Amino acid sequence: MLGFFLRWVFAFVLLAVTYNPTQYNFVTWAMGAWEGQLPFVVLGSLLLLVCYVIYLRATLRSIGIPGMLLILAIMTTVAWVLIDRGVLVMELSSLNTWLILAGLSLVLGIGLSWSIIRRRLSGQADVDDVDE
């Protein structure tokens, strides 16, 4: 459980560092620093890209696009129910952005943890294909 939580938190931090509704995010900084600090913008972009490749590749390998879409559909439906019941308000765009980040990070966290979850539920281990 702690392993999944840490993977989810790291995914949330990755997404929030990239973009969030505050002024403290990579996108806002990069747009302002583009002309004066281009090497740092490129370096930061490449570091974020590496992190995204790791998360997305693991997620695509473990649950695939159908699994990602299913989890997103569940998250969207939960949001729809909360909006329908008046728990969430569409006018709070900042809160909605944080909730979207939480939902996307949950997809990435589940994707990175799916092999472990599946092994615990089914008792079967996943083995990568190895070419000799």
Q: What is the pLDDT of residues 35-89, one digit of tens each?
A: 899 999 999 999 999 999 998 998 888 888 998 899 889 988 988 998 899 888 8
Answer whether residue 100 shows pLDDT above 80: yes
Other beta carbons within 10 angstroms of residue 6's beta carbon come to 13
CB 63 within 8 A of CB 71: yes
Q: Determine the pLDDT at residue 52.
A: 94
Looking at every residue in the chain, the average pLDDT score rounds to 86
Whether 81 and 73 have beta carbons less than 8 Å apart is answered as no
Query: Which has the minimum average pLDDT: 7-11, 13-17, 22-26, 112-116?
Result: 112-116
Structure-token pair, residue 49: 């890209």
pLDDT of 95 reads: 85
DSSP SS3 for 109? helix
- Is-above-0.85 flag for pTM? no
Say whether pLDDT at 131 is over 60: no
The model's confidence at residue 125, banded by pLDDT at 50, 70 and 90, is low
pLDDT recorded at residue 21: 93
- b/e per residue, 51-75, with b = 16+ CB within 10 A? beeebeebbeebbeeebbeebeeeb
CA-closest candidate to residue 71, choices 89, 82, 86, 59: 59
Integer Cα distance of 132 and 8 in angstroms: 34
